[in-house]
Amino acid sequence: MTDEPILSLLERALNARASMFDARHQTALRLFNGFYEGHPSLVIDLYARTIILHNYADPPADGDSIIRAAQSFLQDHLAWLQAIILKTRNGSTQRDKQGVIIHGSAADNRVCEHGVCYALDLQMNQDASLYLDTRNLRKWAIEQLRGKTVLNTFAYTGSLGVAAQAGGAARVLHLDLKRTFLEVAKTSYRLNGFPVRQEDFQVGDFWPQINHLKQAGEGFDCVFLDPPFFAATSKGTVDLANNSARLINKVRPLINDGGYLVAINNALFTSGQDYMKTLESLCADGYLQIETLIPVPDDFTGYEQTRIESPPVDPAPFNHATKIAVLRVRRKT
* Average pLDDT of the segment spanning 304-320: 96
Q: 108, 141, 159 — which closes off a domain?
A: 108
* Average pLDDT of the segment spanning 124-130: 94
Q: How confident is the model over 14-50, as pLDDT tens digits?
A: 999 999 999 999 999 999 999 999 999 999 999 999 9
Mean pLDDT of the residues in the chain: 96
Determine, yes or no, domain membership for 121.
Answer: no
Q: How confident is the model over 147-162, as pLDDT tens digits?
A: 999 999 999 999 999 9
Burial class (CB in 10 A: 0-12, 13-18, 19+), 23: exposed
- Rounded to the nearest 5 degrees, what angle is found at the Cα of 290, between the Cα atoms of 289 and 293? 165
pLDDT for res 333: 67
* Average pLDDT of the segment spanning 63-88: 97
208 CB neighbour count, 10 Å cutoff = 12
Angle between helices 64-77 and 6-16 (to 10 degrees): 40
Long-range contacts of 246-249 (CB under 8 A, 24+ apart): 248/282, 248/327, 249/282
* Average pLDDT of the segment spanning 243-264: 97
CATH number of domain containing 315: 3.40.50.150
pLDDT more than 90, % of the chain: 97
Contact predicate 32/8, CB 8 Å: no
pLDDT more than 70, % of the chain: 99
pLDDT for res 14: 98
pLDDT confidence bin for 264, thresholds 50/70/90: very high
Phi and psi at residue 187, to the nearest 5°? -65, -40
* Average pLDDT of the segment spanning 273-283: 98
* Average pLDDT of the segment spanning 87-94: 96
- CA 81 to mean position of chain CA atoms: 23
Contact predicate 151/254, CB 8 Å: yes
Task: Give me the domain span that covers residue 13.
Answer: 6-108
pLDDT for res 131: 97
Determine, yes or no, domain membership for 113.
Answer: no
CATH number of domain containing 71: 3.30.750.80
- Same-domain status, 99 and 148: no
Task: Give the chain's radius of gyration (CA, Å).
Answer: 20
* Average pLDDT of the segment spanning 285-296: 97
Cα–Cα distance between 297 and 332 in angstroms, integer?
36
pLDDT for res 105: 86
Classify strands 236-239 and 230-233 as parallel, antiparallel or unpaired: antiparallel
**Amino acid identity at 288:** L
- Same-domain status, 153 and 262: yes
Determine, yes or no, domain membership for 321.
Answer: yes
Determine, yes or no, domain membership for 284.
Answer: yes
Q: How confident is the model over 206-245, as pLDDT tens digits?
A: 999 999 999 999 999 999 999 999 999 999 999 999 999 9
- Same-domain status, 200 and 323: yes
Predicted TM-score (pTM) of this structure: 0.97
Domain tally for the chain? Answer: 2
